[in-house]
Structure formats: C-alpha cells, structure tokens
Structure 1
Amino acid sequence: PSWLKEKISENRTDDLACFLNVDIFKSIVGDFIEEDWRPYCTELVDKTGDIIMAALSESLDKTTSHDRFPSLRALVRKHGEHAARGLVQEARNQMEAHLSLEKHPYTQDHVLFENIACARHRGLKRELEVALRLDQPNKGGDGVQQQQQGGGGVVYDTTAIRAIVDAVFDRNRRKTVEEHMAEDMEIVLESYGKVATKRVIDRTPQICWQVFRSLGPAVQDTLWNLTDDKLQEAMQDTSDFALKHKALTEELEEMNKALTIFQSLL
C-alpha cells in the first residue's frame, strides 16, 4: 500500500533497509488501536454503564416507592449509584490498561507464524497463476489434457513457461526496497492483526459482563456498610408528615374519648 511506503520512507533510520523497522510497526499498531479499537471499546463500556444505571434506577424506584422516608430513599439511591459508577470506572480502567498493553505487540501464538508463512509468497504465487492462466476455470483437467480433448486449453512448452516465470520474477526484482518493505510489513501487520483482534474482541466484552455480574453484590456491600447513625438520621419523619401524624393522633384520641363516653352510657 502507498501509505505504508510513505510511512517507511518518512521514518527511515540509518539501519540497513532490508530489515523491517520495529518502531514503525509499533507505531502503526498504536495508531490502529487508537483509531479503530478504542472508539468501539469505549462505546461498549459507556453503553454498559448506561444499562446498569438505568436498571439500578428502575429497581430502586420499585423497591423504595414509600414516601415516608425520602431521605432514606435518597441515601439508598446515592450509595447504589456510587457503587455502580465505581464498577463502570473499574471496567474503563481495565479496558484502558488492556489497550495500553496491546500497543506493545506480543504473542506466543503459533498462528502468527503460520499466517506469515502462508502469506509471504501469496502475491508471487497469484501473479504466476495469472501469467500461466492457472486462475482460469479448467473443466477438462490440466492444460495438456484439455487440449488433447479439444477443450480449448492452453499448453505451454518449456521455453514459454521459462519466459513467463522469468518475466514475473523480473517484475518482482525491479520493485524498490520501499515496495518490498511495505509488502513485508503488510504481511506481518495482517498476520499479527488476526491474533491481536481476537484478544480485543473477547477482552472488553468480558470486562463488561463482569460489571453486570458484580452490580448486585456491589450495591449490597455498600448498603451493608451504612452505619446505624446514618440510617437513623435518614429515617426521620419530614415536618409535613410529623404534623399530619400529630393531627391524626389527636383525632384518634378524641375518637377514643368519645367511644369511652358512649360505652359508659350503655
């Protein structure tokens, strides 16, 4: 790709040009993480936070619907939301730590080396297949059999095959160092990307699922840590409720007095 050739040319060092530049490779991986992976990972964590906050709010609305102790309801909501936000922040920290690690390419996965080995001569093989017309559908078998059976296949003699192969290799030989380096870099990037992408696809969702699993225990723990003093303070009646309660109590006392008088007359 042209952008790879430009990046290699712009960052050339005094090292021999026949070796891949590890710093360029790490830089490309880092750019890929920031531009392609981070937005999706961040969005997933944000959506996870939105879901658990909405679920917590709905649950608290259903379980704390009584109006007598609004301070207690507010206290429970405050500590529940604090626990939920803590889980989301921890998930975000883990996601950031993982992406930071991924900026330093590393793997022991043999798939990387298998992919590199398969891809290293793929372009040259493809060019030879096209030149020799091996990429064309061949319903009659190989070229020799097809011609013998009247199938219209093309048969090359040894001289023609040599000329075609030499032409393909000559075109490959005339490529610049930057072109060869770009092709090699592309192969390694593609092969490493297949390995690293699997880690990212699994890791961030795994972190988010842990948030869902931890929400209930986390809220429970933070509520268990409330002191008796805080609970007693939050369970004080409001002035309106106190006045209403006093009025109803006095009314009940008057009714009881009237009932006592009425019973004495019987």
Structure 2
Amino acid sequence: ELIKHNRPYKLPIFINTYVFEAIVADLIEREWMKPTMELLESTSKVMEAAAEAFIKELKEASPFHHLQTYLITKAAEVVDALTRETKRRVLEIVEREKKMPYTQNHYLFENVCKLRSHRLMDEVTRALPEDNGANVTVNPKTLRATVKNIFQRNQERSVDEHMAEEMQHALNAYGKVALKRFIDTVPMICVEIMQNFAIKMNHILSDTSDDEIERFVTAPSNTVAKMNKLTRKAETLERGIVALGELY
C-alpha cells in the first residue's frame, strides 16, 4: 500500500526515493536514537566517576578538603561541557543519516544483487529432488515445467509487489552498510569525552589564580587554631623538660 500510494508520477516503475528516505529516517529515529543517547550518557557517567575516584585517591590532595572538592567540581563541569559538545556532534550525524541516505560502498550493490535472486533461487532449489544419497531420476520435461512455472508465477506478481520487494532489498542492503558506518562513527565520537578530558581539565586549572590556590591549600581556621594550641603546649612541655634537666 505504501508503494502504491506513493508511486511517482514520472517513470512509475521506479521506486519513489522519498518513500525510501522516509523509511530510513523513521528506522533511525526508532531503532538507533535510543542506544546512541544511552551510549553517550554511559560514557559521560563513566568519565565523571573515574575522574572523581582518581581525585579522591590523590594523596597530595587528601589533606585539603576544599582543594579536593574544587577539583571534583571542575572535573564534573569539564565532563558536562564535553558531553554537550559530543551530543551536538552525534545529533548532527543522526540528522545527516536521516535526511541524506548515501553510500558508494560496493557491498550495497553486491547485497542488492544477492537479494534479488535469493527468493527465486530458494523456490527453484525447493522444487529439485532432495539429495539423500540415492540415485534420483529427474524427468527433464517435468523439471523444465516446474522451473518455468516458478518464473511464470514471479512474472504474474503485480508491479507494486515487485517494487515493494525491490524496496525491501534496497533497505536491507543499505541498512547493513549504514549501520556499520554508524556503529563505527558514534562510539569514536563518544570516546573523545575521555580523550579530551585531560586537555580541558588542565586548561581550566591553569586559569586558577594564586589566591584561589592558597585558599584551597590553607587549613581551616579551627584546624589552624588547634595546631597553634598544640604547638604552644609542646613548647611549654619542652621548656619544662629543659628546666628539669637544669635542676639535676
């Protein structure tokens, strides 16, 4: 019905390319979009979790809570920015695939040729006697009539049926090529979140002012007060020990 109602006005024996493009776009939207976004989200979460775990394990930063929190926050911001940029690029690829199905891959033409003869080959093969190891006598006239009948039935199919079958062949062949291209391209873009993280993180940290760094590595005031108090006690004890030593 889809083929019949969208048959082109000019040269109606050919497949309507707009129908092909619409089917491809619908397939991408229904079947490819969700796993693509899931892959992007998963990559983003893995990178953010890995960065946070790495920062928490840094022995140099562990004594400085404010510094650790700052690094984790900045890492999350970097991952978020990279995720947004990656999503934009991925959506561009998706839209391009939806709006402009294209390939010059020779596998497309090879697969179409195979699919075109596949159904008739199956029918002819099923019409032949089974090879069970015994000698089988085949009447040439009967075999010829059987094969001729198969091709006759194929010729009696309507133009719409032939066009629908041809459309299915084109979709199957193109789908294999396009899906392979999609599977290769999208993960390569998503993994750039991890590849570009260090560069972006270093760039942000290089903009941190000296005052901010000093604030991050300075102990909290209550900790400083405790340290000063302990220092004074230690000095008092030391003077006491010296005084006792002088008595003896």
TM-score bucket (shorter structure): 0.7 to 0.9
Match of 1:228 among 210, 215, 220: 210
Residue-by-residue CA offset, 1:153-190 (whole Å, 9 max, x unaligned): 241233x3443233222211222222111100011111
Classify 1:206/1:137 alpha carbon distance in 2 versus 1 (closer, same or farther; 3 Å): farther
Q: CA deviation at 1:222?
A: 2.7
Percent of paired sites with the same residue: 30
Are 2:123 and 2:150, in contact at CA under 8 Å, matched by a contact in 1?
Answer: yes
Aligned to 2:37: 42
- Unaligned regions of 5+ residues in structure 2, if any? none
TM-score, length of structure 1 as denominator length: 0.81
Letter in 1 for 2:184: D
For 2:20 and 2:79, the matched residues in 1 are separated by 39
Q: How does 1:88-99 map to 2 (within 5 A)?
A: 88-99=83-94
Partner of 2:74: 79
The CA deviation at 1:22 is 0.7
1:1-266 → structure 2 map (5 Å cutoff): 6-63=1-58, 68-103=63-98, 104-131=100-127, 133=128, 136-137=130-131, 139=133, 151=135, 153-158=136-141, 160-259=142-241, 261-262=243-244, 265=247
Per-residue CA deviations over 1:182-218 (Å, capped at 9, x if unaligned) read 1000111111112112112222222233333333343
Aligned residue type for 2:240: A
Question: Which has the larger displacement, 207-216 or 194-203?
Answer: 207-216
Give the root-mean-square deviation of aligned CA atoms: 2.5
Q: Structure 1: any 5+ residue segments left out of the alignment?
A: 1-5, 141-150
Could you say if the C-alpha distance between residues 241 and 94 of structure 1 is closer, same or farther in structure 2, counting changes exceeding 3 Å? same
Q: Is the CA contact (8 Å cut-off) linking 2:116 and 2:166 kept in structure 1? A: yes
Structure 2: which amino acid aligns with 1:137?
Answer: D
Distance 2:108 2:60 in 1: 57
Q: 2-side partners of 1:93 and 1:139: how far apart?
A: 62
Q: Would you say the 8 A contact 1:80–1:223 is kept in 2?
A: no
Q: Which has the higher contact order (CA 8 A, sep 6+)?
A: 1
Q: CA 1:68–1:123 in structure 2 vs 1: closer, same or farther (change >3 Å)?
A: closer
CA contact (8 A) 1:119 1:187 kept: yes
Question: Which digits, 9 at most, give the CA deviation of each residue in 1:104-150, with x for residues without a partner?
Answer: 2111111111221222222122222323x15x22535xxxxxxxxxx
Whether the 8 Å CA contact 1:48–1:208 is kept in 2: the answer is: yes
Contact 1:84 / 1:219 at 8 angstroms: preserved in 2? no
After superposition, what is the alpha-carbon deviation per residue over 1:30-56, rounded to whole angstroms, capped at 9, x for unaligned? 111112122222222222122222211
Aligned-partner residue type, residue 126 of structure 2 = V
**d(CA) in 2 for partners of 1:105, 1:183:** 19
